[in-house]
Amino acid sequence: MGIDNIPLPGFLYQQFFGNKLVDIKVRSGPGLEKKDSGISFLGGNEKRITFIFNDSQNKFVGDAQATLLFKLLTACDLTVKDVAFVNFFHNDSITYRELVKWLQPAKVLIFGIMAHELDLPFTIPFFQTQNFGEQLYLISPSVEELQLNEEQRKQLWACLQKMFNILKQK
């Protein structure tokens, strides 16, 4: 057994991590049970906000992507319980219709995937929101591109402030 595989008793997690870990419990209900939806996702989807990205290396989200995505959640006063992280790569042929049917999102943030890949009947430039049906869509460059480009992160933040009614700090 290596040092990376030492089992820890549950009470130590609180001492080590404080309130930095989130307890994710999947609740039963329409669109929230991973096995029934046909869409695998991470999160509780309580506020019906879907983050879609494309990661061929990880089932849900890798460490590099998680860092930026969790910063976005924190800045928008959200937690993993509030959202559904959907990895497009591991949800073959997913369309916006399936997202709406199973996850019932109010807001959909799309990273590095073009509108036509989700079978959306419109195209929009990066960092512009689009109402369609009962959803608000935002398309952005990939998480990897955002990590490398500060100007794009600023543009994304400006869109998120409008999308989530976040007051700008002076």
Q: What is the DSSP string of 21-73?
A: S----PPPSTTT-HHHHS---BS--TT-EEEEE--SS-SS--HHHHHHHHHHH
Q: Is the pLDDT of residue 148 over 80?
A: yes
| High-pLDDT (> 70) share of the chain, % | 76
Q: Would 95 be classed as within a structural domain?
A: yes
Provide the CA 81 distance to its chain's centre, in angstroms: 11
Q: Would 147 be classed as within a structural domain?
A: yes
Q: Would 80 be classed as within a structural domain?
A: yes
Q: Say which residue, 168 or 20, is predicted with more confidence.
A: 168
Q: Would 8 be classed as within a structural domain?
A: no
Alpha-carbon span 159 to 126, nearest angstrom: 10
Q: What is the CATH number of the domain that holds 105?
A: 3.40.470.10
The structure's pTM equals 0.76
pLDDT, the chain, mean? 82
Contacts of 84 (CB under 8 A, 6+ apart): 41, 42, 43, 44, 45, 49, 50, 51, 103, 105
Enclosing domain of residue 132: 27-163
Q: Would 56 be classed as within a structural domain?
A: yes
Q: Would 15 be classed as within a structural domain?
A: no
Mean pLDDT of all residues in 123-140: 95
Q: Would 75 be classed as within a structural domain?
A: yes
Domain count, the chain: 1
Task: Encode pLDDT of 41-85 as tens digits.
Answer: 999 999 999 999 988 888 888 887 888 889 999 999 999 999 999
Task: Encode pLDDT of 106-122 as tens digits.
Answer: 999 999 999 999 999 99
Helix (H) / strand (E) containing 107: strand 107-111
Q: Would 132 be classed as within a structural domain?
A: yes
